[in-house]
Amino acid sequence: MKKYLKVDPWSIIEEGFVAENHEISESIFSIGNGHMGQRANFEEHYTGQSLQGSYMAGVYYPDKTRVGWWKNGYPEYFAKVLNSTNWIGIDVKVNGETLDLATCTVTDFVRELNMKEGVLRRSFTAELPGGKKVKVASTRFVSMSMKEIGAIKYAVTPVGFDADITFSPYLDGDVKNKDSNYDEKFWDEVSKSNRADQAVLTIKTKKLDFYLTSTMTYAVEVAGTKADVQPELTEKEKFVGHSFQVQAKADQEAVLYKYVSNVTSRDHAVDELASVGAEVLTKAVAAGFDSLLDQQKEAWAAKWKDSDIVIEGDVEAQQGIRFNIFHMNQTYTGEDSRLNIGPKGFTGEKYGGSTYWDTEAYCLPFYLSTADESISRNLLVYRYKHLEKAIENAEKLGFTDGAALYPMVTMNGEECHNEWEITFEEIHRNGAIAYAIYNYTRYTGDYSYLGEYGLEVLAGISRFWAQRVHFSKHQNQYVMLGVTGPNEYENNVNNNWYTNRIAAWTMEYTLDVIAYLKENEGARLDALMAKLNLSDAETAKWQEIIENMYYPADEEKGVFLQQDGFLDKELIPVSELDEKHLPLNQNWSWDRILRSCYIKQADVLQGLYFLNDQYDLETKKRNFDFYEPLTVHESSLSPCVHSILACELGYKEKAYEMYLRTARLDLDNYNNDTEDGLHITSMAGTWMSVVEGFGGKKIEDGTLSLNPFIPGHWQSFSFKIVFRGARLNVQVTPDSINIKNETDVETDLIVSGKEVTVKGNETIQVSLAASAV
Ligand code: BGC
């Protein structure tokens, strides 16, 4: 753990430059706008350790896979999010000396990510090797209102001497991924053009033909007056740059405004990239830096209006939760149903930027409650668009007749993962995709989704489950052998309770959807049954499986068993392990982990969280009491589920302890891996801990319900919920819950068990004194 950032409610602030923290800060101070993202790399040349990262949403590379032993069914490639053209670069020389923080003495260094405004700022004084000092201040953002635009203001002031300052802004496409299986470069140059007022670089991926055109222009001021400069033009392979000198008198500021547009062939025709790039750039320049900055502030104000959480009485918690919300909003903005959410967002290369079950299981609730429903709908449509690939994926593994197995890791619907125990066995991911449809429709009330897209996906997944189970004569029930549950610390187990349960639940839900469509959209159902070739005999078979599914359980303990053999394990609580063994994944051999009783992440409890209304409190309590002491939470996805259940069970301290494990995971670098990128899924989970855990938010029969409690030392906390056209600002204090309806949509809800109505633009107060948690 490394705590070096200042605590502040709205900003992340680093004071003092410590080179060994730089890569961690590059992740933490990343900026993004859903279309592109940028690690907090320095603009000027830097010879210290750095992970360069400029990412364009949806632009990826199918890097040829590397495995020990090939297994049939493995994918040929692992998709990689691509480090793309470095568009932020501005090299600086002062009287001929290069500004490089690795060779200068740096004082007054401050890096600040203003989350309210979506702006990254940095300032410092650098003493160059020759002894001269300059002050530098930079401001940069990727625009939320003009998604293809990035803008930088870079100011240099010589301290007490007259200086010749050389600025060299450039676009460099000659970049690499750190994560490349064969150390290849993934981009080829297509074209470049370079004139005094503008430089353009177009590069193309070596496979799949993604084109990226970056166009840059700039303006210069010295002591507040526009300076006309005559740049020297530089061109190299995949590189265009300008270089010019300005004279600044002692203590005069020389400012470079660099504007860049990044447009890709995902959004525009290849032959129009140059013209579109130039057009967008012209608009941005015409607006000017200050006005773009104002638009940025407005766009972020709108995001915060829908999604802010305010915690009074705990500034660290306040900063932590805003940081998480900020990155969720930077990562996915939801206009484009071809895009999804990588576990590291735009902040690093790990996990390849690909889509995991994380989206449906953890991220969806955030967007459902904080944004227009079209944004969540697009996350669902993404999987609809991949249905054919999911069917092909299942066919490769021997399934037939429209059975769909969604990939564990994907960019375009094809599986990218190639560890057999995950690729072939961690099939529970299919269940989360079905569950997301349920979660979306019950939250939004948008049942049109079911006929339009939902049923086709559900039928494909149900078909997969129906083929993946088989009838065991021994058990006289349906069983599912050879799977890996969410707990990846057990592989190839038989009858993982969670997987069996989510499989049967998917089939139940699919039948409910069919019944719903029969009643409400008969003609559409008939057309769908014909399209899918779905017969009554097939749905009857699903019903038979549902009724005869085997669920491992222990009667005496009154718990569901994670898998058939779980009770044969030596059950020693984590608290009795010597600390030196933890984390297990760094201290134990893999086989020792697999044989142990230790659970990486919520598994049975994941099921009790999803299917919450199907189990009584006593059942949840027995299972929680049994599994929580055995769980090591070595996946950052885990603590939030435990926290939410602990809230429901009234285990307030446990709930808060679990919440703390992820609340500042990256800010305090708990897992010592923040330099690789941020844990976006866990950020979504922390949001869930506050709103679904402490806030007790659920949907019961289409009605929003809240059952809050407030952690001991917080004075109050409040969160926003966008629900069916209304935006509610819910504030919880130790004594009461105050709900302000910020719209004119009247809303009925249940608060601590009581039915209440909040009229448009009204605030109601419900006393918490009498409410039980
Ligand atoms: C977790 C998976 C998760 C993946 C990406 C793994 O460590 O076990 O559940 O999908 O990380 O976040």
Report the CATH number that the domain containing residue 211 is assigned in CATH.
Answer: 2.70.98.40
Q: Is residue 282 part of a domain?
A: yes
Amino acid at 39: R
Ligand 1, closest atom to CA 600?
Answer: 8
Given a cut of 90, is residue 541 above it in pLDDT? yes
* Atom 9 of ligand 1, nearest CA residue: 486
Given a cut of 70, is residue 773 above it in pLDDT? no
Find out whether the beta carbon of 683 lies less than 6 Å from any atom of ligand 1: no
Q: pLDDT grade, residue 335 (50/70/90)?
A: very high
Amino acid 86: pLDDT: 98
Q: pLDDT grade, residue 471 (50/70/90)?
A: very high
Please choose, from the candidates 733, 773, 730, the residue with its C-alpha nearest in 3D space to the C-alpha of residue 752: 773
Ligand 1, closest atom to CA 679?
Answer: 12
Find out whether the beta carbon of 360 lies less than 6 Å from any atom of ligand 1: no
Find out whether the beta carbon of 635 lies less than 6 Å from any atom of ligand 1: yes
Q: Is residue 250 part of a domain?
A: yes
CB 649 within 8 A of CB 621: yes
Q: Distance, CA 635 to ligand 1 centroid (Å)? A: 7
> Token digits for 686?
């922390």
> Token digits for 754?
């009581």
For the chain, give the mean pLDDT. 97
What percentage of the chain carries pLDDT values higher than 90? 96
Q: Distance, CA 463 to ligand 1 centroid (Å)? A: 25
Q: Distance, CA 57 to ligand 1 centroid (Å)? A: 21
Find out whether the beta carbon of 637 lies less than 6 Å from any atom of ligand 1: yes
Q: pLDDT grade, residue 769 (50/70/90)?
A: low
Find out whether the beta carbon of 262 lies less than 6 Å from any atom of ligand 1: no
Q: Is residue 391 part of a domain?
A: no
Find out whether the beta carbon of 606 lies less than 6 Å from any atom of ligand 1: no
Return d(Cα 503, Cα 525) in angstroms, integer: 23
Q: Distance, CA 638 to ligand 1 centroid (Å)? A: 10
Find out whether the beta carbon of 351 lies less than 6 Å from any atom of ligand 1: yes
State how beta strands 11-15 and 105-114 pair: antiparallel
Domain that holds residue 91: 11-305
Q: Which of 70-79, 276-285, 468-477 has the lowest mean pLDDT?
A: 70-79
Phi/psi at 754 (nearest 5 deg)?
Answer: -100, 140
Return d(Cα 25, Cα 112) in angstroms, integer: 10
Q: Is residue 547 part of a domain?
A: no
Find out whether the beta carbon of 357 lies less than 6 Å from any atom of ligand 1: yes
CB 5 within 8 A of CB 21: no
Return d(Cα 599, Cα 630) in angstroms, integer: 6
Return d(Cα 618, Cα 641) in angstroms, integer: 17
Sequence-distant (≥ 6) Cβ neighbours of residue 452 within 8 angstroms? none
Given a cut of 70, is residue 307 above it in pLDDT? yes
Amino acid 15: pLDDT: 98
* Atom 12 of ligand 1, nearest CA residue: 343
**pLDDT (average), residues 380-395:** 98
Return d(Cα 316, Cα 353) in angstroms, integer: 29
**pLDDT (average), residues 598-612:** 98
Ligand 1, closest atom to CA 634?
Answer: 7
Return d(Cα 156, Cα 247) in angstroms, integer: 11
Ligand 1, closest atom to CA 601?
Answer: 8
Instruction: Specify the DSSP class assigned to residue 86.
Output: B
Amino acid 626: pLDDT: 98
Q: Distance, CA 702 to ligand 1 centroid (Å)? A: 31
Find out whether the beta carbon of 202 lies less than 6 Å from any atom of ligand 1: no
* Atom 6 of ligand 1, nearest CA residue: 635
Computed on alpha carbons and rounded to an integer, the radius of gyration of the chain in Å comes to 27
SS3 392: helix
Amino acid 459: pLDDT: 99
Q: Is residue 41 part of a domain?
A: yes
Q: Distance, CA 487 to ligand 1 centroid (Å)? A: 9
Q: Distance, CA 345 to ligand 1 centroid (Å)? A: 14
Return d(Cα 149, Cα 146) in angstroms, integer: 6
* Atom 1 of ligand 1, nearest CA residue: 635
The continuous run of DSSP H or E covering 508 comes out as: helix 497-520
Ligand 1, closest atom to CA 408?
Answer: 10
Residues with active-site annotation: 488
Q: pLDDT grade, residue 670 (50/70/90)?
A: confident
Q: Distance, CA 473 to ligand 1 centroid (Å)? A: 35
- Measured in residues, the chain has a length of 773
Amino acid at 675: E
**pLDDT (average), residues 682-698:** 98
Please choose, from the candidates 38, 178, 42, 157, the residue with its C-alpha nearest in 3D space to the C-alpha of residue 111: 42
Amino acid 771: pLDDT: 46
Ligand 1, closest atom to CA 681?
Answer: 12
Query: How many domains does the chain fold into?
Result: 1
Find out whether the beta carbon of 358 lies less than 6 Å from any atom of ligand 1: yes
For the chain, how are helix, strand and coil distributed in percent, rounded to 5?
A: 35, 25, 40
Please choose, from the candidates 266, 193, 198, the residue with its C-alpha nearest in 3D space to the C-alpha of residue 235: 193
* Atom 7 of ligand 1, nearest CA residue: 635
What percentage of the chain carries pLDDT values higher than 70? 99
State how beta strands 703-706 and 747-751 pair: parallel
Find out whether the beta carbon of 636 lies less than 6 Å from any atom of ligand 1: no
Amino acid 772: pLDDT: 37
**pLDDT (average), residues 536-540:** 98
Return d(Cα 175, Cα 187) in angstroms, integer: 8
Amino acid 443: pLDDT: 98
Amino acid 66: pLDDT: 87
Look-up: residue for tokens 């078909």? Answer: 463
Q: Is residue 649 part of a domain?
A: no
Find out whether the beta carbon of 601 lies less than 6 Å from any atom of ligand 1: yes
Amino acid 222: pLDDT: 98
Ligand 1, closest atom to CA 635?
Answer: 7
Find out whether the beta carbon of 362 lies less than 6 Å from any atom of ligand 1: no
Return d(Cα 228, Cα 199) in angstroms, integer: 17
The continuous run of DSSP H or E covering 109 comes out as: strand 105-114
pLDDT digits (tens, 9 = 90+) for 40-69: 999 999 999 999 999 999 999 999 998 888
Q: Is residue 235 part of a domain?
A: yes
SS3 513: helix
pLDDT digits (tens, 9 = 90+) for 276-300: 999 999 999 999 999 999 999 999 9
The crossing angle, in degrees rounded to 10, of helices 387-396 and 455-468 is: 10
**pLDDT (average), residues 761-767:** 96
Ligand 1, closest atom to CA 636?
Answer: 7
Find out whether the beta carbon of 491 lies less than 6 Å from any atom of ligand 1: no
Residue of 356, 417, 419 to test ligand 1 pocket, by largest number of atoms within 8 Å of CB: 356
Amino acid 351: pLDDT: 87
Residue of 358, 416, 641, 680 to test ligand 1 pocket, by largest number of atoms within 8 Å of CB: 358
Distances (CA, A) of 259 to 139, 171, 242, 278: 12, 11, 13, 11
Q: Is residue 70 part of a domain?
A: yes
Given a cut of 90, is residue 117 above it in pLDDT? yes
**pLDDT (average), residues 641-664:** 96
CB 80 within 8 A of CB 224: no
Amino acid 274: pLDDT: 98
Find out whether the beta carbon of 681 lies less than 6 Å from any atom of ligand 1: yes
**pLDDT (average), residues 658-666:** 94
DSSP string, 592-658: HHHHS--BSS-SHHHHHHHTGGGS-HHHHHHHHHHHGGGB---STTHHHHHHHHHHHHT-HHHHHHH
* Atom 11 of ligand 1, nearest CA residue: 635
